Chains A and B, each alone.
Chain A
Amino acid sequence: MSLERNWAADFPILARPVRGKRLAYLDNAATTHKPEAVIEAERSFYRESNANIHRGVHWLSQHATDLYEGARERVRGFLNAAHADEIIFTRGTTEAINLVAWSWGRVNLQAGDEIVITAMEHHSNIVPWQLLCAQTGAVLKVLPIDDAGQLQLEACEQLFGPRTRLLAIGHVSNALGTINPLARLIARARAVGARVLVDGAQAVAHLPVDVQALDCDFYAFSGHKLYGPTGIGVLYGRRELLTAMPPWQGGGDMILTVAFEGSTWAEPPARFEAGTPNIAGAVGLAAAIDYLSGIGVAAAAAHQDALLVQATDEIRRLPGVRIYGTAEHKSAILSFTVAGIHPHDLGTILDSEGVAIRAGHHCAMPVMTRFGIPGTARASFALYNDERDVAALIAAIRKAQALFGVEAVA
């Protein structure tokens, strides 16, 4: 595998050694690093363009507003949404999902209604619905997964019924890497008249997303897993739904008129963006989208998939390694355990070799419960990773096995 271009050179942090070693950063499912273009976009915003938006008559305010709304338009294009006003800026995926639960959920769900999620959801696509169920008396239904970490589609079919109001589903599992068969499940949800929310946190850096082709009602993602800044994320919502939804946070910028007798709400997206938003973050996110679009999500994905295949092949040859998540359709996430070494011990030893991975339950405790383990080690790939990172991972696992004296364990 040879790169047409050395993408790693675009990411300044990758040049710094960690623990005296070359950094092999394989914790990309937690957060990705930022290219110079994103860092410069935020820096430049504060140096050249900073002002509050949507309210100033002065030049800088108009300029900042143009940049912020320009970022919204870039997100629209990235998701292929029909209208820019279907794009709401949030703090991240978690806030986007909570927005839907609080705003759409509280006026659309009644006791006995059903929300369908999957057994592989991140906590942020479980807990907001549990809170909503506690408030409304709605019921959570969970689509089961098999030993490979794939949805058991036959069993899934039966969980949709006349009371199903919402399917809330991850596009890609952060703990297992599984790419869910959205087309089939969304069609199933549509057939019973349910709405669909897709948690795209782990998908946007790995799969081209077209919300109109997907036919989902909501799509949520975070900027920081897409080479953008932390603290900025997106909720896409279908226009007719957003227009009918009540505000979920009150404050400035989300109102039309305010009087002590009562206030009226602005149209979406402003209705859902109370207070001064993360303006520089939105500008940085737009720069990240430009950066990734310049490479092409498909080209980045092909590179990441090749690394996943290589790492999977090599890690399988080590004694005592078990991979969790062996779905046919998988994104660049490799979750595994090593016999005789707890994931946290493994994480510490790999770290001493400059190899950064995640160890634990990955905010997906029900997945760990499903497989009867407390946690896994997880290596996840981004476009700046290469064969050297895979080699460092394998060598560091061997070192851990030697240290723990478990080489012979099979």
Chain B
Amino acid sequence: MSFAGMSDLRELYQEVIFDHNRKPRNFHEMAEADRVADGHNPLCGDQLTVYLRLADDVVADVSFIGHGCAISTASASLMTEAVKGRTVAEIEALFHDVHAMLTDAAPEGRDFGKLQVLSGVREFPARVKCASLAWHTLHNALTGGGTARTE
């Protein structure tokens, strides 16, 4: 039973979300990127581009640009912090676990760290796609897929 009230709203809009919305981290283009992917949510118009620079199997640098709601911007910003320095395999595993956390239930034993704040969207089904857009785009950048779409 999903019944979002004021307390659920506070769960969704935590200070970390506001902070990353106002001051998104790694928010810039990257000329030396070797992987780039676009993400688009046609329903709400959210649009972003994710840039990656790989060193062997490790994401040496990651950044994004675009525009969207607070949830989508904060999710992208938090994501760049979470994946920098990780291996492609680790990031793919994280992508699947974050997706599970946003839509269903978080996998047991996974410590999401700061990303935990994103779990609040679970009570707002209409907003899940906002939080997941950046992650789908990152996934496409790593796997060579086309434009990511969440709707």
Bound CA span A348–B123, Å: 11
Residues of B within 8 A of A135 (CB): none
Interface residues in A316-362 (C-beta closer than 8 Å to B) = 341-345, 348-349, 351-352, 359-361
* Interchain Cβ contacts under 8 Å between A and B, 15 examples: A19-B5, A342-B69, A343-B44, A344-B130, A345-B13, A345-B69, A348-B9, A349-B13, A351-B4, A352-B4, A352-B8, A360-B43, A368-B45, A374-B45, A374-B47
Say whether B45 contacts A352, CB under 8 Å: no
Interface string of B25-43 (1 = CB under 8 A from A): 0000000000000000001
Say whether B13 contacts A344, CB under 8 Å: no
Bound CA span A55–B67, Å: 57
Given A352-B6, A360-B44, A360-B45, 17 further pairs, Cβ under 8 A: A20-B3, A342-B68, A344-B71, A344-B127, A345-B13, A345-B69, A345-B70, A348-B12, A352-B5, A365-B45, A368-B45, A374-B44, A374-B47, A403-B9, A403-B13, A404-B18, A405-B18
Bound CA span A343–B45, Å: 11
Interface string of A221-255 (1 = CB under 8 A from B): 00000000000000000000000000000000000
Say whether B18 contacts A375, CB under 8 Å: no
Please give me the residue from chain A that is nearest to B7 by CB atom. A352
Interface centre among B3, B69, B124, by most chain A C-beta atoms within 10 angstroms, is: B69
Residues of A within 8 A of B12 (CB): 348
Least Cβ–Cβ distance between A212 and chain B, in angstroms: 40
Q: Would you call B126 an interface residue if the criterion is a C-beta within 8 Å of the partner chain's C-beta atoms?
A: yes
Bound CA span A360–B47, Å: 13
Interface size, chain B (Cβ < 8 Å)? 23
Least Cβ–Cβ distance between A338 and chain B, in angstroms: 12
Residues of A within 8 A of B13 (CB): 345, 349, 403-404
Say whether A359 contacts B44, CB under 8 Å: yes
Interface string of B58-74 (1 = CB under 8 A from A): 00000000011111000
Residues of B within 8 A of A405 (CB): 18
Say whether B18 contacts A374, CB under 8 Å: no
Bound CA span A375–B130, Å: 15
Residues of B within 8 A of A375 (CB): 44-45
Please give me the residue from chain A that is nearest to B47 by CB atom. A374
Least Cβ–Cβ distance between A286 and chain B, in angstroms: 34
Residues of A within 8 A of B67 (CB): 374
Q: A352-B4, A403-B13, A404-B18 are in contact. Are A345 and B71 (CB under 8 A)?
A: yes
Bound CA span A352–B69, Å: 17
Least Cβ–Cβ distance between B108 and chain A, in angstroms: 29
Residues of A within 8 A of B127 (CB): 344, 348
Least Cβ–Cβ distance between A71 and chain B, in angstroms: 34
Q: A19-B4, A19-B5 are in contact. Are A344 and B44 (CB under 8 A)?
A: yes
Residues of A within 8 A of B69 (CB): 342-345
Bound CA span A102–B109, Å: 58
Residues of B within 8 A of A342 (CB): 68-70
Please give me the residue from chain A that is nearest to B73 by CB atom. A342
**10 closest residue pairs by CB, A with B:** A374-B45, A342-B69, A344-B69, A352-B9, A345-B70, A345-B69, A375-B45, A360-B44, A344-B44, A361-B45
Please give me the residue from chain B that is nearest to A403 by CB atom. B13
Least Cβ–Cβ distance between A291 and chain B, in angstroms: 31
Bound CA span A349–B47, Å: 22
Please give me the residue from chain B that is nearest to A352 by CB atom. B9
Bound CA span A360–B3, Å: 23
Residues of A within 8 A of B68 (CB): 342, 374
Residues of B within 8 A of A404 (CB): 13, 18, 70
Least Cβ–Cβ distance between B14 and chain A, in angstroms: 11
Interface string of B122-135 (1 = CB under 8 A from A): 00101100100000
